[in-house]
Amino acid sequence: MNTANQRLFNQTNKESKLVEQEVRRDDIGFGTKLTDSHSRLINQDGTFNIVRVNSSLWDRLNVYNRLITMGWIQFLSWLLVFYVTANTLFAEVYMLAGADSLKAADDKVLYSPFWKCFFFSSQTLTTVGYGHISPDSFLTSSIAAFESMMGLLAFALATGLLYGRFSRPMAHIRFSKQAVFAPYLDVNGWMFRIINTRANQLINLEVSVSMSRVEPKSDGALSRKYYNLSLERNKVSFFPTNWTLVHPITEHSPLYGCTPEDLEQSDTEFLVSVQALDDTFMQNVHTRFSYRYNEVKWAQKFRPMFDGSEQTPVRLDLDKLDETEEAPLN
């Protein structure tokens, strides 16, 4: 250890103003180094625009998470591939152990030794076990005993994943494709709109919006800064209809006095995070979205989503989510 450093802290750094400033700085977890203006931070599907290198094979595979989040067709295809592969492997093992020692009720021409082993394997793996093919030696009996156990375990994983995917709580929230700058009371506001596309209820919704932009530091170097945008209302108990979220642009807003050009030059991105409780099993759900500067319309306001008819109950038209109309700003 460097003895020259033993003097450490003997200086009287009492209170540090820089530390206090730093503590108050908003940062949602991306840091200040991401100043490349050609890429967005959060993709519109909620994933992050970061690549990991040198992670371990296991971490890169990330098996469980991947099997839960991949598409349904991909998932079912993997199941089928796995099933056929497992049967093929076990069929080869039975072939090695002697296909003759699998006794079939009667041997049609069709039953080539390989396919006999293959179908015996499938009947063992799924524990269907018709018995028209049966193991007839110590070796094949042992392999079959092992395979049926493996089959139970493997299908437990497969069916667990299947049900996990099926029952996974998700916020079926659709965001308006574009955010808008619209007049709001006697000022203007930055707004976007969300709906719950499903009939199952989301309760206790909470929304937070951060704005991220690249700003020059005092030494001229670019640095990414984050601002939490206060919302007119960031929490509701129920979410039965649509909800327009409004950030009022008053003097306190970091957007105060901004022009469209400012947004573009500073590579502005609006990061939205929504948390809620799914009413069915009272599970937390979470979803992310982002609007970049070119996904924000100026001087437009959202049109109502109720279809205007006098019918009861009230009818909410989901197709109108993205509809806006001109509205001169204040």
**Of residues 262-291, those binding its own copies (CB under 8 A):** 273, 277, 279-286
Binding of residue 57 to its own copies (CB under 8 A):
no
Measured over the CA atoms of residue 263, residue 267, residue 268 and residue 274, the dihedral's sign is positive
From first CA to last CA, the distance across the chain in angstroms is: 64
To its own copies, the closest distance from the beta carbon of 42 in angstroms equals 8
Task: Give whichever of 132 and 217 is closer to its own copies, judged by the CB atom.
Answer: 132
Binding of residue 72 to its own copies (CB under 8 A):
no
Pick the piece of the chain touching its own copies (CB under 8 A) from 89-97, 205-213, 216-224.
Answer: 205-213
- Contact between residue 76 and residue 114 where contact means Cβ atoms under 8 Å apart: no
CB burial string 293-317: b at 16+ within 10 A, e below = bebbbeebbbeebeeeeeeeeeebe
Binding string to its own copies for residues 211 to 230, with x set by CB under 8 A, is what? --------------------
To its own copies, the closest distance from the beta carbon of 93 in angstroms equals 17
What's the CA angle centered on 276, arms 273 and 277, to 5 degrees? 160
Among 45, 53, 218, 219, binds its own copies (CB under 8 A): 53
Binding of residue 254 to its own copies (CB under 8 A):
no
Q: 211 — phi, psi (to 5°)? A: -110, 135
Window 109-168: residues binding its own copies (CB under 8 A): 110, 115, 119, 122-124, 126-132, 134-138, 141-142, 144-145, 148-149, 151-153, 155-160, 162-164, 166-168
Among 71, 199, 220, 325, binds its own copies (CB under 8 A): 199
**Number of Cβ atoms within 10 Å of the Cβ of 140:** 23
Binding of residue 187 to its own copies (CB under 8 A):
yes
To its own copies, the closest distance from the beta carbon of 234 in angstroms equals 10
Among 19, 81, 89, 96, binds its own copies (CB under 8 A): 19
**Which segments of 135-200 does DSSP mark as H helices, in order?**
138-167
User: How would you classify the pairing of strands 269-278 and 242-248?
Assistant: unpaired
Query: Can you name the residues that pair with 235 across neighbouring β-strands?
Result: 206
Binding of residue 27 to its own copies (CB under 8 A):
yes
Please choose, from the candidates 209, 198, 212, the residue with its C-alpha nearest in 3D space to the C-alpha of residue 285: 198
Sequence-distant (6+) residues with CB within 8 A of 218 are none
Binding of residue 313 to its own copies (CB under 8 A):
yes
Residue 239, classed as helix, strand or coil, is coil
Pick the piece of the chain touching its own copies (CB under 8 A) from 32-40, 91-99, 217-225.
Answer: 32-40
Binding of residue 2 to its own copies (CB under 8 A):
yes
Task: Give whichever of 36 and 215 is closer to its own copies, judged by the CB atom.
Answer: 36
